[in-house]
Structure 1
Amino acid sequence: MKTTSSNSLAATFRALHANEQLLLLPNAWDGASARLIEACGAAAIATSSAAVSWSHGVPDGEHLTLEMLLATTREIIRAVRVPVSVDLEAGYGATPEAIGPVVRQVVDTGVVGINLEDGAAPPEVLVAKLEVARRAAAAAGVELFINARTDVYLRGLVAPEERVQETLKRARLYREAGCDGLFVPGIARPEEIAAIAQAAGVPLNVMALPGLAPAPKLKELGVRRLSLGTALAQAALGTVRRHCVALLERGEYGGVFEGQVSYGEMNALLSRS
């Protein structure tokens, strides 16, 4: 049964955040990218909301329809055997209560983790969403790992000297509402990472940024999850642009054959039953 399988994957995913481990997540955007990431050795797959949105030709920020999100999620679940976590942005619901059915639909695809973000809204809004999401997951019989994302750093919601205190205030609220992890994109200073990791009360997830400490150092600081966010998709799109410019402006195309994943390898990866 799917619930039995999902709970096994859910237990695996939860364990990947424990015992001073550092879970490394190169974020995927479709079945092919997810399967390739898995083949590279990733222990789990997480999506990037922006990358998924761009792959459907729409901007990030819940411009993607729920139907498109669910379809992409099913593609990824079908392509991989490792735990999958999906970025739900703000929850795809106009009210906290509206995200309950959304969470249930996502869980029904086989997902065992989600991200929910606060954005510019008061933290109490995410508190309500987390409570609804937790109830929806419990009703589905799945031990869903709920990662609460706070945009205190990413959006500059408070003055720099107040960011640690504000993040920890929200961490307490979100933890009490039922979150399993705290995602703080935009944080980079080692002393601030360590302070939040030590006091958050749940595993800390950070996002890769230029100049961020390397993974081993982040692990020492107490980080339990490192996401590439949109970086992998942006790198792929940058490669597309570079080769297109070479072809269209200079008539050159030799470089496009360097570093490729071969046709046969990719076909074989996706042919796995």
Structure 2
Amino acid sequence: MDFRSTVERAQRLKELHAGHRPLVLPTVWDAWSARTAVAAGFPALTVGSHPLADSRGAEDHEGQTFEEVLAAIRPIVAAVDVPVSVDLESGYGRTPADLVAGLVEAGGVGLNVEDTVHGEGGRLRGTEEHAAYVAGLRAAADDAGVPVWVNGRTDLFLRAEKPADVLDEAVERLLALERAGADSVYPVGIQDDDELLTAVIGAVGVPVNSTAHPVRHDLERFRRLGVGRISYGPLLQFALADSMKAMIAPWAP
């Protein structure tokens, strides 16, 4: 993909976030799933690390190298004419500049980055440490001349025995990401908790991303709560696996 097309797709992704509340980005993992989602009417997509890894026989949590991820997303981007964002986990040990350069070269125009550092035993980045990484991504995208959409994720709720107990710390992390230049923030693990979602949405000034199950969750509920962006994580792939098993089980010996 040429540079001008990449810039245009990045600008389109930004416009879509402004025009939709919430913007639903189906989480895809290959050219087939990407084409299927676009045929269903979606104007933008995201590639999830978990379903991508599963589709390639690899492990999530950076079980693939950055080069392998880029090789996998190129045909996805080429298969559709809509913007594609990519879950880049915690960055594969790469500098922000390297991460943005690789993403843009592959045609990706958005990214998700989390604070669990898989290459270092799964430790959680500190608040300012993660914010600094996101600031580096923002600066690298600006230097590249591509308005890459940066979705800053925290796994703090996911790690807590009682998610409500870490609300204040999580909000502090998300506000730090917003100040660092994140276009949206992603507090993973609270998609079923109206109170926590409402508290987070009320505390930050950028769209809040929530995970959703395409069958078990209700879009209108997320809209009513004020969620700005929705992705499926691995849940779309899980739902399709359940459907596939139900369809073919009667044919098994």
Paired with 2:11 and 2:188, the residues of 1 have a C-alpha distance of 25
Kindly state the Cα deviation for residue 217 of structure 1 after the two structures are TM-superposed. 2.1
Aligned mate of 1:220, from 217, 224, 230: 224
Matching of residue 102 in structure 1 with residue 105 in structure 2: no
Secondary structure in 2 matching 1:146: strand
* Contact 1:93/1:99 (8 A) holds in 2: no
- C-alpha RMSD of the superposition: 2.2
- 1:61 deviation in Å? 0.5
Residues 105-132 of structure 1 deviation map (CA, whole Å, 9 limit, x = unaligned) = 1111121100000122222331121122
> Is 1:67–2:70 an aligned residue pair?
no
Q: Give CA deviations for 1:40-75 in whole Å, capped at 9, x if unaligned.
A: 111101011000011110111000122221111111
Change (3 A) 1:79 1:155: same
Amino acid at match of 2:138: R
Aligned to 1:129: 133
Matched, 1:12 2:12: yes
Q: CA deviation at 1:209?
A: 4.9
The percentage of counterpart residues that share the same residue type is 36
Q: Which runs of no fewer than 5 residues in structure 1 stay unpaired?
A: 251-273
**Structure 1 position 165 matched with structure 2 position 168:** yes
Three-state SS of the structure 2 residue aligned to 1:110 is coil
Give yes or no for the alignment of 1:154 onto 2:151: no
SS in 2 for 1:216: helix
Point out the more displaced range, 119-128 or 192-201: 119-128
In structure 1, what is the Cα distance between the partners aligned to 2:157 and 2:213? 13
Q: 1:115 aligns with which of 108, 112, 115?
A: 112
Work out which of the two has the higher radius of gyration on C-alpha atoms and give 1 or 2.
1
Residue 203 in structure 1 maps to residue 207 in structure 2: yes
Task: Give the Cα separation in 2 of the matches to 1:62 and 1:87.
Answer: 11
Q: Does 1:233 align with 2:237?
A: yes
Q: Distance in 1 between matches of 2:163 and 2:215?
A: 18
TM-score (norm 1): 0.82
The alpha-carbon deviation at position 241 of structure 1 amounts to 4.3
Q: Which amino acid aligns with 1:122?
A: G
Q: What residue in structure 2 maps to residue 37 of structure 1?
A: 37
Instruction: Figure out how many residues of one structure are paired with residues of the other and give that number.
Output: 245
Cα distance, 1:51–1:102 mapped onto 2, change above 3 Å: same
- C-alpha distance in structure 2 between counterparts of 1:55 and 1:211, whole Å: 21
- The AA in structure 1 aligned to 2:59 is P
- For normalisation by structure 2, the TM-score amounts to 0.88
**Structure-2 separation of matches of 1:210 and 1:125:** 34
CA 1:102 to 1:19, structure 2 compared with 1: closer, same or farther past 3 Å?
Answer: closer
1:91 aligns with 2:105: no
1:40/1:209 Cα in 2 relative to 1: closer, same or farther (>3 Å)? closer
- The alpha carbon displacement at 1:11 in A equals 1.8
Work out whether residues 45 and 84 of structure 2, in 8 Å CA contact, stay in contact via their aligned partners in 1: yes
Alignment partners' CA distance in 1, 2:62 and 2:184: 22
- Indicate the larger mover: 186-195 or 212-221: 212-221
Q: Which amino acid aligns with 2:176?
A: L
Distance 1:236 1:210, change over 3 A: closer
How far apart in 2 are the matches of 1:18 and 1:194? 20
Question: Aligned equivalents of 2:247 and 2:221: distance in 1?
Answer: 35
How big is the shift at 1:240?
Answer: 4.5
Q: Quick one: which amino acid aligns to residue 167 of structure 1?
A: A
CA distance in 1, matches of 2:238, 2:214: 14
- What CA distance in whole angstroms lies between the structure 1 residues aligned with 2:57 and 2:236? 17
Matches within 5 A, 1:173-212: 173-187=176-190, 188-209=192-213
Shift of 1:175: 1.1
C-alpha distance in structure 2 between counterparts of 1:244 and 1:159, whole Å: 40
| Structure 2: distance between partners of 1:209 and 1:232 | 7
Q: Are 2:148 and 1:140 aligned?
A: no
